[in-house]
Structure 1
Amino acid sequence: MTDERGSEAVDSVLAALADPTRRRLLDQLAAQREATATTLAERLPVSRQAVVKHLAVLDAAGLVSGSRVGREMRYTVRPAALDATSRWMAALATDWDRRLATIKRVAETAEQEERNTDR
């Protein structure tokens, strides 16, 4: 499904998204397109310093990027990491669908054979 590096990237994204505050930050950034830690903190029940720490985790996972504009650091969403994780999840779902279809087919065949031997 994914190579070692791709697997690490997916792990990093899933770990970052495991925290509800980080998911809310990502949602806010997606809605606003760009924001500072201060603006993001105004809408959350956490301090600006906590927002900065959460943004650092999101940045390390490749989900956001920050750029300096004057004295401010402005953050934006980087969708590539989410896209890669989404592709991994879709491939995983496809694999499980295939496995479940095989199990169903085997069970149905066994049931049909059992009916035929009972006659």
Structure 2
Amino acid sequence: MSQPDADLAVTSAAPLFAALGDPTRLSLVMRLGDGQPRSIAELSDGIDLTRQGVSKHLRVLEEAGILSSERVGRESRFLICPDAIEETRSYLDRVSGQWDRTLSRLKTFVEK
């Protein structure tokens, strides 16, 4: 990967990782991992936060492109955006590949 491509990958991945870096937000993403849309009330159930607090976390995830929302009557339903999750996975795969190559070179060097 060329340096401009690497810079672009980092720039596009950074907001995703920043949004996922909070345990509450990561928990919300896990709850939505089955692909079923859920309301704030459903997502607030079992979390030690107010609905307003959960709503703030959901907005961060939505702004990062990890979730989308749709109004259904008086409530919003949230759903994971698979493209954002795929982009995150792809970035981690690239970083993992770089580490694998680096460790392979180190192993070769040490074995000589």
Q: TM-score, normalising length from structure 2?
A: 0.88
Measure, in 2, the Cα distance between the counterparts of 1:105 and 1:3. 26
Matched, 1:108 2:99: no
Quote the residue 2:85 is aligned against: 82
Mapped contact 1:9–1:81 kept (Cα < 8 A): no
Give the aligned CA root-mean-square deviation in angstroms: 1.6
Measure, in 1, the Cα distance between the counterparts of 2:8 and 2:108. 35
Measure, in 2, the Cα distance between the counterparts of 1:100 and 1:32. 37
Measure, in 1, the Cα distance between the counterparts of 2:105 and 2:37. 47
**Is there any run of 5+ residues in structure 2 with no aligned partner, and where?**
none
Paired residue total: 109
Measure, in 1, the Cα distance between the counterparts of 2:47 and 2:105. 47
SS at match of 2:70: strand
Mapped contact 2:62–2:68 kept (Cα < 8 A): yes
User: Matches of residues 67-78 of structure 1 in structure 2 within 5 Å?
Assistant: 67-78=70-81
Runs of 4+ in 1 over 4 A off after TM superposition: 1-5
User: Matches of residues 20-59 of structure 1 in structure 2 within 5 Å?
Assistant: 20-31=23-34, 33-59=36-62
Mapped contact 1:29–1:35 kept (Cα < 8 A): yes
Match of 2:10 among 7, 11, 28: 7
Mapped contact 2:9–2:91 kept (Cα < 8 A): no
SS at match of 1:30: coil
AA aligned opposite 1:65 = S
Kindly name which structure, 1 or 2, has the bigger radius of gyration based on alpha carbons: 1
AA aligned opposite 1:96 = W
Alpha carbons of structure 1 residues 32 and 83: separation in structure 2 relative to 1, 3 Å: closer
Q: What percent of counterpart residues are identical?
A: 34
